[in-house]
Amino acid sequence: MCSSFGSRHYFVIRHSSFVILLMDLSPEKKIAGVLVPLFALRGAGDLGIGDVGALREFIDWAATIGFKLVQLLPTNEIGNDNSPYNAISAMAIEPTTLHLAPNSPPDLTREDFDASVARADIHSLRLGEVKYRQIKKLKRCILEKAFANFSAHASEERQLEFRMFCDQEAAWLRNYAFFRVLMEENDDSAAWNRWPAQYQSIERARTWLCALSQDRQAALAARQNFFCYVQWIAHQQWRAIKSYAAERGVALMGDIPFGVSYYSADVFARPDEFVLDWCGGAPPEPYFKEDVFTQKWGQNWGIPLYRWDRMRKNNFEWWRERVRAVRQIFHLFRIDHVLGTAIPRISFLATMRHPKIARRTNAKAKNTCALSSTKQAPRA
């Protein structure tokens, strides 16, 4: 958080009994920082993608050369397109960011870790571009083993810590875990509007769940606990790296994308707070020579717009929870882009597609492009 001391502003870390003055953020004092995609970092013993272990090494390097800030891209759980700006949850942390090794998490034994890694071509995973499909599969396998050990052998104290986390994060965690289970029921697809009818709303899905046998309900409850467990471990590791960065005099800066994916746990659980038939976007860009659609119509980001009037009724509960989630693991954060909250530019029908629409005249496209309050028109 930021506090003022006289005419200066400082970034501080507050603990129960003391305050650490981390840095002077006053305009008179310049600081240097660096933005890095976490997935691009490579650390000792990584599994083919940057994780909090690699981030710890990077923080050491940043502190050594005098950087006071490390900024990251969004760390929310990604979907099948692997874009950090199209996450399947605005709250959940991406599992591939976790540092997995014997005793990390504490429930992971060396035998289980080695057995999982032995079945993967680690050398190949560490070469070239990030191989998301294989890495996700490997890390999921390792986390499944850790969860099995936790379920069978965790002490009462550790089980209590897990339950406390679930209770503290219940506002988003329960719906997220349920959404992840429904994804498993539908071939790991997050496209909830293409699921069978009994799953296509959270109310219908809960009715479907209640109609199942007790054994089946218990099995699905265990799966929900697995996804909650992964988030528990993620929060532990990220809070630890946040504290470590503070000790090294480096602030971690996160990123909150303005929009949220249509195919996300958030939209699925709270559809009344989103405009589902229109998508946000940006105005036409004449310099996009290779993209006729963007030249004429602008960028269709595919993100649902917000129903601010609905959100206002609950005092913007979802947005407050989103900000709280980021503040737990970062010292600072950026909203990308914050102007989107005040200056809507252009909206597209959710079904609008580039090749088909780009060739239409303005008159023919009248019913497929809605102009915002800024009255922007497509380029002729």
pLDDT tier at 374 (50, 70, 90 boundaries)?
A: very low
Tell me the per-residue pLDDT of 94-112, one tens digit each, with 9 for 90 and over: 999 999 999 999 999 999 9
Give strand ranges (E) for the chain. 2-5, 8-14, 19-24, 33-35, 69-71, 251-257, 274-282, 299-306, 332-336, 346-349, 369-371
Answer yes or no: are the C-beta atoms of 179 and 188 closer than 8 Å.
no
Distance of CA 133 to the CA centre of its chain: 17
Per-residue confidence (pLDDT) for residue 363, from 0 to 100? 58
pLDDT value of residue 380: 38
pLDDT the model gives residue 369:
53
pLDDT, tens digit, 9 for 90 and up, residues 300-323: 788 898 999 999 999 999 999 999
Can you say how many angstroms the Cα of residue 98 is from the centroid of all Cα atoms in its chain?
13
Contact 17, 25 (CB under 8 A): no
**Residues pairing with 346 in the sheet:** 281, 371
Q: What residue ranges define each of the domains in the chain, with the CATH number in brackets? A: 31-267 (3.20.20.80), 270-371 (no CATH)
What pLDDT score does 81 carry?
A: 93
211 pLDDT more than 90: yes
- The pTM for the full model equals 0.87
- Going from the C-alpha of 212 to that of each of 184, 228, 366, the distances in angstroms are 16, 22, 47
What does DSSP assign to residue 118?
H
pLDDT at 239 over 90: yes
